[in-house]
């Protein structure tokens, strides 16, 4: 089907157009192609969603055979089933809004065309990732989004911190990618194919050990891409990129690729209970770990970044307890409200001319009301208050965890939910409420963002308000679950027992904990602002620990980065001294033999040739005397020669002229 192929191809076309003509010709009009192509992809995705909704079987589109032979065939092909349809909607829908927002946010930037080229390239890769019908296409997309993430984090490459953050993201992702690659190799070795449908059909043939190995290796990939413990450190640094990038790549889409991948492979995870436990525990641990760091951060985008890490932890927690549909549900709602929050923070940063420190904000509610209102909606949504989007999805994950017998994880999740509610309201109050702490010259220029930025905010706010209800009500039996059922209907934890007392109690607990978080934040930052510093002073140790992010970065530096650098230096020495020494030695030998050969040429061959030349010269000095110039000398020589020739001829024939005549 052409429309399926067009979804990734159109943004690719825009990449080519902007990449080739952007710098010289398109410049400030690069966004027409970029936004246009994504808009068309969005429309095509909607049409595919409608088609899938009507109950048609999954579509497989094969573009061409890539690797072919030896019984191992890989096609460039797309699979459109409910799961990829949902992902397509998130990627193209949120992507479209963020593209539109970027038109305003990036306006006047020197790399405007470059930004849209990268952003579209990201769309292409992400679409390949969610649409691919086999692991290799998934891997292409996986690496493509990693590359774009690197390019966009380091977008302002004049800033050293940005390039370092980009490199960090790329390198940390490589660790995960290595695990992912091993998983792909294992799958290829076990099944002889990389096609999803074939692999999942025969997944039950796997031994538990092999299933666990594959699942864990896949999860290593997911941990890298989705910023889970222990590979989450790149994501907060990734906030060096432009804010729309943070919203699109580092909140809404790319970082959720790991969740998508785990859900896509649930057939394998269902066979590996140990791997499931690892996923759930990692998710839960990350959720609470990142949330605690988020409590004390002062950079508006970093708070959101740790919040993203934490929310991704919830998604993996959901995956780990077998609540795949709930994980995808949370992925979708998170895409709505986290994109909204990031774009809102971008709007704040835009209004304040680049200020990101929330200690220097405050009281912005009146200055930028649209941003403040939409940001408040996003905050409530993520904090988990009904009926906004985040409540339904998060509560569902926690409920599934509790009912699946993972009470400890439920408790961790609840604690994380409290922290989430607290740090998000803290962020909101510090930014928008109270009195301003802005520098006067900054306060002077504060202005609401243009419509091209606020309209996407409004749309996302609408989705954050209603998306949860529309997609996931009633809990565990909502529209999204019914839609995803054909894909994720698994054995573990999907048993649906209807909505009971227990669910109601869990919901009440969720709401209570969210309200508690809100109340705490309200107390500490609005009612009694003096409380926060005094608490920080009282729990000095804990506060410092959190402020320094548990010194994980420093730990990694000491454990991995520095040894790597040392190793690099050692090998550098080896290269310079040994390898270069060998090369230089060979070079010197060549130079020496060349010198020898030139010496022989000069002193032997030339001498020989000179002797010949001189001999010729001497001979010529004798024989040229014959050349007198007098005609009669020549005539005499001629006649004498003639006489000698005739005489010889006659003698040779037998002695007389008469004989000659007789012979004739």
Partner 1 sequence: MTGSGGADTDVITLTHYLVVSTVLFAIGLIGVLIRRNFIIVLMSIEIMLNAANLNLVAFSHYLDSLTGQIVALFVIAIAAGEAAVGLAIIVVIFRGKLATNVDQINLLKW
* 3-state SS, residue 79: strand
- Give least dist CB 640 to partner 1, A: 11
Q: Pick left, alpha or beta for residue 438 (phi over 0 → left; psi -120 to 50 → alpha; otherwise beta).
A: beta
Strand partners, 76: 64
- Give least dist CB 624 to partner 1, A: 4
Residue in 136, 16, 163 with CA at minimum distance from that of residue 76? 136
Q: Is 639 in the site for partner 1 (CB under 8 A)?
A: yes
Q: Based on CB atoms, which residue is closest to partner 1, 603 or 659?
A: 659
- Give least dist CB 600 to partner 1, A: 37
What's the first-to-final CA gap in the chain, in angstroms? 102
Rounded (to 5) percent helix, strand, coil in the chain: 80, 5, 20
Stretch that binds partner 1, among 253-261, 356-364, 480-488, 624-632 (CB under 8 A): 624-632
CA–CA distance, 204 with 267 (Å, rounded to integer) = 8
Q: In Å, how far from its chain's centre is CA 370?
A: 32
CB-based contact 525:428 (threshold 8 Å): no
Q: Is 628 in the site for partner 1 (CB under 8 A)?
A: yes
- Give least dist CB 639 to partner 1, A: 6
**One symbol per residue from 235 to 254: x for binding partner 1 (CB under 8 A), - otherwise; what is it?**
--------------------
Q: What is the DSSP string of 515-526?
A: HHHHHHHHIIII
Q: Is 658 in the site for partner 1 (CB under 8 A)?
A: yes
* 3-state SS, residue 64: strand
Under rule CB under 8 A, which residues in 255-294 are in contact with partner 1? none
For residue 95, CA distances in Å to 246, 458, 534, 612 come to: 12, 15, 43, 85
Which of 354, 631, 652, 655 forms a contact with partner 1 (CB under 8 A)? Answer: 631
Q: Is 655 in the site for partner 1 (CB under 8 A)?
A: no
CA–CA distance, 248 with 145 (Å, rounded to integer) = 11
- Residue 595 neighbours by CB under 8 Å, 6+ apart: none
- Give least dist CB 610 to partner 1, A: 23
Under rule CB under 8 A, which residues in 408-447 are in contact with partner 1? none
Stretch that binds partner 1, among 130-138, 322-330, 573-581, 625-633 (CB under 8 A): 625-633
CA–CA distance, 432 with 424 (Å, rounded to integer) = 12
Which of 2, 629, 652, 655 forms a contact with partner 1 (CB under 8 A)? Answer: 629
Which of 444, 538, 617, 625 forms a contact with partner 1 (CB under 8 A)? Answer: 625
**One symbol per residue from 569 to 608: x for binding partner 1 (CB under 8 A), - otherwise; what is it?**
----------------------------------------
Q: Based on CB atoms, which residue is closest to partner 1, 531 or 657?
A: 657
- Give least dist CB 592 to partner 1, A: 49
Q: Based on CB atoms, which residue is closest to partner 1, 50 or 639?
A: 639
Token digits for 538? 């009282």
Q: Is 663 in the site for partner 1 (CB under 8 A)?
A: no
Stretch that binds partner 1, among 27-35, 207-215, 289-297, 619-627 (CB under 8 A): 619-627
Token digits for 446? 């504060």
- Count Cβ atoms below 10 Å from residue 116 Cβ, excluding itself: 29
Token digits for 374? 């939409």
Q: Is 70 in the site for partner 1 (CB under 8 A)?
A: no
Q: Is 174 in the site for partner 1 (CB under 8 A)?
A: no
Q: Is 627 in the site for partner 1 (CB under 8 A)?
A: yes
Which of 27, 496, 602, 632 forms a contact with partner 1 (CB under 8 A)? Answer: 632
Token digits for 230? 């222990």
Which of 636, 644, 646, 660 forms a contact with partner 1 (CB under 8 A)? Answer: 636
Q: Is 635 in the site for partner 1 (CB under 8 A)?
A: yes
Which of 624, 652, 655, 663 forms a contact with partner 1 (CB under 8 A)? Answer: 624
Per-residue DSSP letter, 252 = I
- Give least dist CB 650 to partner 1, A: 15
CA–CA distance, 142 with 126 (Å, rounded to integer) = 7
Q: Based on CB atoms, which residue is closest to partner 1, 537 or 631?
A: 631
Q: Based on CB atoms, which residue is closest to partner 1, 54 or 627?
A: 627
- Give least dist CB 595 to partner 1, A: 44
Which of 630, 652, 655, 663 forms a contact with partner 1 (CB under 8 A)? Answer: 630
CA–CA distance, 552 with 218 (Å, rounded to integer) = 24
- Give least dist CB 661 to partner 1, A: 8
CA–CA distance, 638 with 643 (Å, rounded to integer) = 9
Q: Based on CB atoms, which residue is closest to partner 1, 570 or 642?
A: 642
For residue 461, CA distances in Å to 39, 315, 325, 448, 471 come to: 20, 21, 23, 17, 15
Q: What is the DSSP string of 611-623?
A: HHHHHHHHHHHHH
Residues that bind partner 1 (CB under 8 A): 624-625, 627-632, 635-636, 639, 658, 661, 664
């Amino acid at each position: 089907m052409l429309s399926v192929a067009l979804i990734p191809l159109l943004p690719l076309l825009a990449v080519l157009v902007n990449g080739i003509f952007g710098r010289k010709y398109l410049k400030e009009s690069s966004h027409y192609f970029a936004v246009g192509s994504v808009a068309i992809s969005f429309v095509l995705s909607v049409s595919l969603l409608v088609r899938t909704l009507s109950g048609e079987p999954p579509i497989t589109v094969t573009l061409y055979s890539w690797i072919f032979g030896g019984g191992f065939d890989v096609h460039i092909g797309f699979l459109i089933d409910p799961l990829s349809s949902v992902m397509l909607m998130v990627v193209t829908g949120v992507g479209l809004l963020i593209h539109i927002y970027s038109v305003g946010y990036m306006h006047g930037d020197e790399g405007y065309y470059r930004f849209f080229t990268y952003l579209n390239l990201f769309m292409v890769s992400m679409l390949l990732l969610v649409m691919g019908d086999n692991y290799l296409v998934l891997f292409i997309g996986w690496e493509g989004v990693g590359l774009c993430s690197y390019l966009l984090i380091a977008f302002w490459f004049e800033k050293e911190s940005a390039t370092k953050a980009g490199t960090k993201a790329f390198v940390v992702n490589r660790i995960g990618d290595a695990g992912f690659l091993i998983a792909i190799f294992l799958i290829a070795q076990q099944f002889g194919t990389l096609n999803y449908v074939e692999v999942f059909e025969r997944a039950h043939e796997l031994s538990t050990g092999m299933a666990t190995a594959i699942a864990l290796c896949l999860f290593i990939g997911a941990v890298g891409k989705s910023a889970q413990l222990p590979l989450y450190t790149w994501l907060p640094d990734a906030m060096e990129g432009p804010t729309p990038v943070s919203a699109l790549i580092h909140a809404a889409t790319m970082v959720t690729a790991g969740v998508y991948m785990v859900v896509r492979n649930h057939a394998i995870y269902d066979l590996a209970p140990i791997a499931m436990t690892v996923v759930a525990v990692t998710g839960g641990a990350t959720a609470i770990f990142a949330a605690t760091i988020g409590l004390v951060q002062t950079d508006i985008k970093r708070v959101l970044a740790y919040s993203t890490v934490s929310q991704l932890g919830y998604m993996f927690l959901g995956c780990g307890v077998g609540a795949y549909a709930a994980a995808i549900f949370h992925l979708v709602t998170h895409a709505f409200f986290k994109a909204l929050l990031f774009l809102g923070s971008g709007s704040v940063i835009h209004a304040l001319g680049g200020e990101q420190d929330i200690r220097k904000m405050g009281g912005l509610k009146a200055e930028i009301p649209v941003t403040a209102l939409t940001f408040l909606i996003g905050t409530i949504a993520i904090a988990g208050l009904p009926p906004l989007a985040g409540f339904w999805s998060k509560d569902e994950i926690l409920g599934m965890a509790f009912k699946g017998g993972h009470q400890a994880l439920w408790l961790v999740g609840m604690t994380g939910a409290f922290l989430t509610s607290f740090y998000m309201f803290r962020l909101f109050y510090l930014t928008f409420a109270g009195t301003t702490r802005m520098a006067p010259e900054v306060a002077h220029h504060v202005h609401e963002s243009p419509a091209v930025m606020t309209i996407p905010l409004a749309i996302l706010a609408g989705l954050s308000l209603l998306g949860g209800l529309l997609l996931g009500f009633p809990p565990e039996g909502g529209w999204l679950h019914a839609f995803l059922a054909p894909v994720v209907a698994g054995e573990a934890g999907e048993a649906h027992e209807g909505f009971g007392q227990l669910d109601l109690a869990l919901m009440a607990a969720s709401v209570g904990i969210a309200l508690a978080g809100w109340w705490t934040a309200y107390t500490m930052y609005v009612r009694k602002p003096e409380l926060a510093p005094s608490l920080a002073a009282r729990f000095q140790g804990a506060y410092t620990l959190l402020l320094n992010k548990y010194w994980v970065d420093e730990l990694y530096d000491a454990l991995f980065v520095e040894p790597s650098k040392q190793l690099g230096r050692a090998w550098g020495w080896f290269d310079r001294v040994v390898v270069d020494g060998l090369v230089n030695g060979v070079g010197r030998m060549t130079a020496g033999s060349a010198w020898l050969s030139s010496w022989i040429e000069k002193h032997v061959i030339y001498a020989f040739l000179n002797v010949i030349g001189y001999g010729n010269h001497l001979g010529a000095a004798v024989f040229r005397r014959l050349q007198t110039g007098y005609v009669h000398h020549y005539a005499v020589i001629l006649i004498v020669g003639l006489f000698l020739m005739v005489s010889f001829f006659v003698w040779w024939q037998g002695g007389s002229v008469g004989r000659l005549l007789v012979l004739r």
